[in-house]
Amino acid sequence: MEPPRQKWLARLLLLAGGLAGLAWLGSLDLSRKVSSDVLDLVPSDERSPELSMVRSLAGEDEARVLLLAVGVSPRPGEPPEARALRCDHAAESFSEFLAKDPAIASSMPLSDTKPRDDLAAAIFNRRMDYLLPAWLEERRGAYVAEGAKGDWSAWLAERTVSDLEAHLARPEAMATQDLLASDPLLLVPRLVGRISGLSDTGLAQGRSGDYSLVWASSRFSPLAPEGQQPVSAAVEGALAKVRSSEPGVELRWTGIGRFAAASRTRIEREMATLNLLSLVLVVLVAAVSVRRVHRAAHLVPVVLGSLLGAWVATTAVWDRVHILVFVVGSLLAGVAVDYGFYLYLQPLKRPGEPYMERASRLIRPLLASALTTVIGFSFLLWSELPLIRQVGVFVSAGLVCALGTALLWFAQLDDSHLDTRAFIRRRLSNPGPRARRAARLALAAGAIVAVIGPWRLHWRDDIRELEIPAPELKANDAQVRSLFGQTGQRTVYLTRGSSAAEARNSLQAFLSWHDKEYPDAKTATLGFALPTEEQYQRLPGWLASLGGFEPELRLALGRHGFDPGAFAPFFASWHEEIQSANRPSYSELVTMLAAKLKGPLSSLLHVGPGATWFVTIAEQAPGKDPPASFNTVTDSQLQSLNKLFGRYRVSALRLSSVGLGFVGLSVFALYGLRRGVRIFAVPAGACLFAFGLFGVAGATLNLFNLLGAFLGVCLSHNYAIFSAESQGCGEEPPPSIRLSAVATASSFGVLALSRIPVVASLGATVAVIVLSALLITELAPIAGSSKSPRGKIPPRA
Amino acid sequence: MAFAVSALSAPGAGPGLSLGAGAGLWRPLIEALAARGAIEARFTERRYFSFRREPTVLKGVIRVSDDRGVSLGYTDPEVTTVIVDSAGLIVRDRKGRDREMAAGSKEAGAVVSLLPILRFDADTLDSLFDTQVSMEGSGWKLEFTPRDPRAARTLGSITVWGTLTEVARIEFRRSASQRIEIEVGETRTGVVFSAAELSRYFRRPAPR
């Protein structure tokens, strides 16, 4: 019988802690607190330009875009044109209904030319500011390159009219004839030709195949719940309304919200499954290994206390916690139960040994194993990645709470000892030469793998591996995007700058690079509609040098069979430009252009505080990435963030190494150098072996394998400590080590089944390290023994 | 063919016959023109602009395929191919690089109308144009006015002159000073285009 005071005090503390934790969690709005936004996994103040672009893209209107393709089923004998018209009408009605829904900010069929017309009108009205500077600079360059000796104004006039004459023989001449009287310099027709690739992407296409296209944007971020289900409902509602008049209408659509909603649902389902499976496996391991199975239920409060503490600590420290932390956190079931095993299964020194006496015997190794792990994980708080910091706190807090709960829970039981089954305790106490040889051979083979394998490892990180792949949604997305012209034969580049001028300069440099790298691939960017800041500032000087241009142009037009009088609108604009004293500043010019970008055009140029970027579409399959100095990335670089995560991996490696160093130092401090080295060799060897095994298997590892290795080393450290403690007392290692390792390996083995690639990586790494450590602790005594005969079951306590 | 000509020569054909009034009379001609199969013909195009005294003259070869659309292969003064088919319009430069335009875009202009007109697709013509047929000398004249008032303002009218089943001239007319005349020269009918010609002069299949 345990003293009643001890029992009631323990119960009181457990109850108070449990109620306080539950009250805290109950007070939280978990749907707000728990995020499924992948970008919450990376720092908000990340300096990496590509990540800040991704953050902006995700937070801005670009992420809210919905691409929708409306089709109608054919009627017997119906000509394709009539079907296409019917399809257009259905798309228009659908778009109208959709636009009325409060979840939708705007919606328009792509056949609606208003955004393009408005932009074209804005550029045409300010063509002298937007387009003349680059035109003049190019012409001046040609004048110098030709080594022309004549008057600059006369040369320019003759060249202008020659170009105009050539333009009239081109296919687009008839379509632009109404513009030419105002624009004989061909500023606007030239721009239209240069940015035609933007139209090819579907931006200007009202139709694609059998579909009529609709562009829409949601009112709220697709990463927030209100930007997900309500948007799907709006789309379904609009479709149902169109079906009342056009029953055969079908819809294909995509948007980030669909992925985000699916991801959250899948992760939540996965979290529930993994946690449950992990708990079941741990209980199963305990049930198989102990004599009175029902009493294994006393391990459950330890796991629950650990998880409660971890949730409370993590939610208390951070405003938003990524859902992945809780998925990874499900591993705590397998780790937390360790302390329960160590206390509950520790053989009694004598019958009726009081709990406090047994606990005080175990407190040193318990504290050593818990605190060294906590110290190690605390170093993760210095990580740049919020995810790693959150996992660090989750695991550290969870382990401390597991230890506290275990100490208190077993203190309030009258019988706090559980016997294990015989096979769990079976050991080869006096192994024969064959067993010794086999153990040595196994350890030597492991050492070879540990030495050679790691050199064969490949590392690669991809932010997309943080989510559960959704192949059907991806296939749908690819199909819809291909209808909108986004195919693998095009590459999308984003060129950024802290100001519009900087971004435009980088764009100029990037376009020059691209012309050299891909001479046959056309590029299209709205940047063509803007001069560089230097070109714009030189404009007044250029105009001043062209005093004789107007009369020369009139003469040249006459010489080439034109009627100079028909170009009166141009000459009026030219006069106005020459006399203009109040030109807008360069940033005003860019802002005015950006303000005219509506609907699908809004993604072509982003002007925001401290960041401007241009989109460029190149007619070539993705290939070489542009040099970093051009501040230009491809959309695929943005999708994977491999380079950025590579940097985080290096940072995590540094922190883990420092953390492990401290773990090692604390072991040396507690156990002395000789025993410390022997203890530390077990987790370190297991870790190297695991990496070696992955290397030999040709696996490609990521940041999460590294994190898993760190966790695995900290956990397997416990086995070495408990083995050393037993050895120090001249006892057999306690059976709790085996149970603990098997339970941990089971719980991480469950994680290895996760459909989230990084979680599977972490689970597999820890499981392999823990099992390897267990094998080392089992084999090392056999390999090192000098006497023979057979093993026997140690006497039960 | 004889039937078509005799139908046009009938008293009812008169100086001008609208679709509603004489579908039975002009349809045989349209059907005979549509039945010619693939065609290849030389052409000379004259473009008249309001700001220029003389027309701009272009030359080339026109190709019409029942299933691949219409291709205008300009050879002079610049090598360019304009392809009009049911999927839209493509401008292919001398290096073989394509630029696609939406069929209804301003850039595409009147040229997309060539597809139903040169294929003489009666149903599509009926849905898009108000058609007038008349006899001129020994030949015939088809005048198409877009039914959509906006298209009518942009494109003006399109007139096709011919004799028997030969098209002689096409005119796109917005006004007296803004028009295109296409004079069709030597014509081969029932042409079978080789795979290389189809690839060079018509839309290429999208890469997989």
Q: Please write the tens of the pLDDT for every residue from A67-99.
A: 899 999 988 888 777 788 889 899 999 999 999
Q: State the burial class of residue B203 (Cβ atoms within 10 Å of its Cβ: 0-12, 13-18, 19+).
A: buried
- Confidence band (pLDDT; 50, 70, 90) for A60? low
Amino acid identity for residue A379 in this structure: F
Min Cα–Cα distance to chain B from A302, Å: 57
Position B4 pLDDT exceeds 50 = no
Chain A contacts of B107, Cβ < 8 Å? 172, 175-176, 192, 196
Given a cut of 80, whether residue A400 has pLDDT beyond it is yes
Express each pLDDT in B160-186 by its tens digit. 999 888 899 999 888 888 899 999 998
Confirm whether A342 is domain-assigned: yes
Q: How many CB atoms lie within 10 A of CB A446?
A: 20
Q: Is the peptide bond before A609 cis (omega within 30 degrees of 0)?
A: no
Residue A350 lies in a domain: yes
Residues 6+ away with beta carbon under 8 Å from A451:
A688, A692
pLDDT at res. A140: 92
Section A19-32 average pLDDT: 88
Q: Give the three-class secondary structure for A720.
A: helix
> How is residue B85 written in tokens?
């088919």
Please indicate whether, in this complex, the C-beta atoms of A174 and B111 are within 8 angstroms of each other: yes
Query: Residues of A347-364 as b/e, b for ≥16 C-beta within 10 angstroms?
Result: beeeeebebeebbeebee
Is residue A736 in a domain?
A: yes
Mean of the per-residue pLDDT values of chain B: 80
Which of B53, B97, B109 lies nearest to residue A561, judging by beta carbons?
Answer: B53
CB A708 within 8 A of CB A764: yes
Residues of chain B contacting A, Cβ within 8 Å = 47, 49-54, 56, 58, 74, 77-78, 80, 82, 86-88, 91, 95, 97, 99-111, 121, 123-124, 127-128, 172, 178, 180, 206-207
Q: Are B206 and B193 in contact (CB under 8 A)?
A: no
Q: Which residue has the tokens 């349209």?
A: B30
Q: What pLDDT shows up at residue A571?
A: 94
CB A231 within 8 A of CB A616: no
Rg of chain A (C-alpha set): 35
Query: Which residue among A79, A199, A522 places its CB closest to the CB of B123?
Result: A79
Confidence of residue B7 (pLDDT cuts 50, 70, 90): very low
User: What pTM did the predictor assign?
Assistant: 0.66
What mean pLDDT is predicted for residues A441-470? 79
> Does B86 sit within 8 Å of A80, measured CB to CB?
yes
Q: Give the pLDDT score at A649.
A: 66
d(CA A710, CA A663): 11
CB under 8 Å to A603, separation ≥6 — which residues? A61, A62, A65, A615
Q: Residue B129: what are its φ and ψ, rounded to 5°?
A: -125, 155
B56·A520 Cβ contact <8 A = no
**A299 three-state secondary structure:** helix
Residue A207: band (very low, low, confident or very high) from pLDDT cuts 50, 70, 90: confident
Cα–Cα distance measured from residue A172 to residue A176, given in angstroms and rounded to the nearest whole number = 6
Task: Report the b/e string of A371-408 with b at 16+ CB within 10 A.
Answer: bbbbbbbbbbeebbbbbbbbbbbbbbbbbbbbbbbbbb
Three-class SS of residue A581? coil
pLDDT at A591: 92
Burial A590-626, CB ≥16 within 10 A → b, else e: beebbebbebbbbbbbbbeeebbbbbbbbbeebeeeb
pLDDT of residue A790: 41
DSSP 3-state of A797: coil
Q: Residue A208: its pLDDT value, please?
A: 76
By C-alpha distance, the chain A residue nearest B172 is A174
Instruction: Name the strand (E) or helix (H) holding B84.
Output: strand B80-85
Closest chain A residue to B46 measured between Cα atoms? A169
Q: Which amino acid is at A66?
A: L
- Chain A interface, Cβ < 8 Å to B: 79-82, 111, 113, 165-166, 168-177, 180-181, 192-193, 196-197, 199-200, 204-207, 209, 487, 489, 520, 522, 561-563, 566-567, 619
* Residue A774 falls inside a structural domain: yes
Q: What is the pLDDT of residues A487-505, one digit of tens each?
A: 777 888 889 888 999 999 9
Looking at residue A353, what is its pLDDT?
A: 81
Pairing of strands A211-218, A104-109: antiparallel
Joined tokens for residue A539: 């404009």
Taking residues A2-8, report their average pLDDT. 84
- Rounded to the nearest angstrom, the gap between the alpha carbon of residue A293 and the centroid of all alpha carbons in its chain is 44
Contact (Cβ atoms closer than 8 angstroms) between residue A102 and residue A219: yes
Is the distance from CB of A700 to CB of A460 less than 8 angstroms?
A: yes
Residue A73 CA, distance from chain mean position? 39
Q: What is the 3-state secondary structure (H, E, C) of A6-54?
A: HHHHHHHHHHHHHHHHHHHHHCCCHHHHEECCHHHHCCCCCCCHHHHHH
Q: Which residue, among B45, B46, B49, would best test binding to A if mutated, counting the most A CBs under 10 Å from its CB?
A: B49
B198 pLDDT exceeds 80?
yes
Cα(A419)–Cα(A292) distance, integer angstroms: 8
pLDDT, mean of residues A274-293:
79
Q: Which residue of A has its CA nearest to B121?
A: A79
- The closest of A429, A451, A398, A325 to A759, measured between CA atoms, is A325
Q: Which residues of A touch B102 (CB under 8 A)?
A: 199, 204-207
Question: Looking at this protein, which amino acid is placed at residue A23?
Answer: A
Which of B44, B93, B107 to mutate against chain A (most A CBs within 10 Å)?
A: B107
User: Which pLDDT band, with edges at 50, 70 and 90, does B109 fall under?
Assistant: low
**Residue-wise pLDDT tens digits, A529-567:** 999 999 999 999 989 888 899 999 999 999 999 999 999
Cβ–Cβ of B97/A199 closer than 8 Å? no
Domain that holds residue A393: 4-34+290-462+641-784
Residue located via tokens 């504290």: A367
Contacts with B153 (C-beta within 8 Å, 6 or more apart), sequence order:
none
| pLDDT score at A642 | 56
Number of other CB atoms surrounding residue B201 within 10 Å = 22
Tokens of A756: 């989230």
Q: Percent of chain A, pLDDT > 70?
A: 89
- DSSP readout, B180-197? EEEEEEEEEES----HHH
Kindly report which listed range (A266-270, A440-444, A502-506) carries the lowest average pLDDT score: A266-270
pLDDT above 80 for B145? yes
CATH numbers and ranges of domains, chain B = 2-7+14-201 (2.50.20.10)
A763 contacts A331 by C-beta, under 8 angstroms: yes
Rounded Cα distance, A707 and A380, in Å:
9
Query: How many domains does the structure of chain A reveal?
Result: 1
Query: Is the CB of B52 less than 8 angstroms away from the CB of A561?
Result: yes
Residue of B nearest to A197 (CA): B99
**Shortest Cα distance, chain B CAs vs residue A775, angstroms:** 52
Express each pLDDT in A778-796 by its tens digit: 888 888 765 444 434 344 3
Q: What is the pLDDT of residue A240?
A: 94
Q: How far apart are CA A634 and CA A644, in angstroms?
A: 14
In our burial notation (b when 16+ CB lie closer than 10 A, e otherwise), range B20-47 reads eebeebbbbbbebbbebebbbbbbebeb
DSSP A158-182: HHHHHHHHHHHTSTTHHHHHHHHTT
- Is A244 among the domain residues? no
Answer whether A174 sits within 8 Å of B100, measured CB to CB: no
Residues of A in contact with B56 (CB under 8 A): 165, 168-169, 173
Q: Supply the pLDDT for residue A263.
A: 74
Task: For residue A165, list chain B residues with Cβ-Cβ distance below 8 A.
Answer: 56
- Domain for residue A580, yes or no? no
Cα(A38)–Cα(A715) distance, integer angstroms:
28
Pick among A89, A113, A163, A168 to test the B interface (most B CBs inside 10 A): A168
Alpha-carbon distances, residue A491 vs A486, A504, A619, A666, B16 (angstroms): 9, 19, 7, 53, 55
Q: Quote the pLDDT of residue A637.
A: 61
A44 pairs with which residues across the strands? none
pLDDT digits (tens, 9 = 90+) for A239-264: 999 999 888 899 999 887 887 777 77
Which residue type sits at A421? R
Higher pLDDT, A449 or B118: A449
Report how far residue B113's alpha carbon sits from residue B175's, in angstroms, rounded to the nearest whole number.
17
Half-sphere CA count of A371, side-chain side, radius 13 A: 11
**How far is the CA of A789 from the CAs of A423, A428, A430, A525, A796, in angstroms?**
19, 9, 5, 81, 21
Domain assignment present for residue A238? The answer is no
Neighbours of A458 (CB within 10 A): 11
Question: pLDDT > 90: what percent of chain A?
Answer: 28
Least confident of A510-514, A534-538, A711-715, B141-145: A711-715
- At A290 the pLDDT is 79
Q: In whole angstroms, what is the distance from residue A764 CA to residue A753 CA?
A: 8
pLDDT surpasses 60 at A354: yes
Query: Chain B residue with minimal CA distance to A205?
Result: B102
Chain B contacts of A205, Cβ < 8 Å?
88, 102
Question: Considering only A118-122, A229-233, A295-299, which range has the smallest mean pLDDT?
Answer: A295-299
Q: Are A181 and B51 an interchain contact pair (Cβ–Cβ within 8 Å)?
A: yes
Residue with the two structure tokens 């290389």: B196
Q: Average pLDDT of B86-106?
A: 76
Cross-chain Cβ contact B49/A165 below 8 Å: no
Residue bearing the bigger pLDDT, A363 or B61: B61
Tokens of A466: 């943080």
pLDDT reading at B190 higher than 70: yes
Asked if the Cβ–Cβ distance from B97 to A619 is below 8 Å, we say yes
Query: Two tokens at A782?
Result: 């056999």
Q: What is the pLDDT of residues A693-730, one digit of tens each?
A: 999 988 888 777 887 888 888 888 878 888 887 777 77
Contacts of A621 (CB under 8 A, 6+ apart): A488, A489, A490, A491
Phi, psi of A494 (to 5 degrees): -125, 125
pLDDT higher than 50, residue A661: yes
The owner of tokens 């399959």 is A621
Residues 6+ apart with CB under 8 A from B125: B30, B116, B117, B131, B144
Instruction: Give CA separation, A88 vs A22, A72, A205, A238, A733, in Å.
Output: 56, 9, 12, 15, 77
A49: number of Cβ within 10 Å: 18
What's the whole-number mean pLDDT along residues A103-132?
Answer: 89
Q: Is residue A684 part of a domain?
A: yes
Please report the sign of the dihedral spanned by the C-alpha atoms of residue A715, residue A720, residue A721, residue A722: positive
The angle formed by the CA atoms of residues A419, A424 and A429, to the nearest 5 degrees, is 115
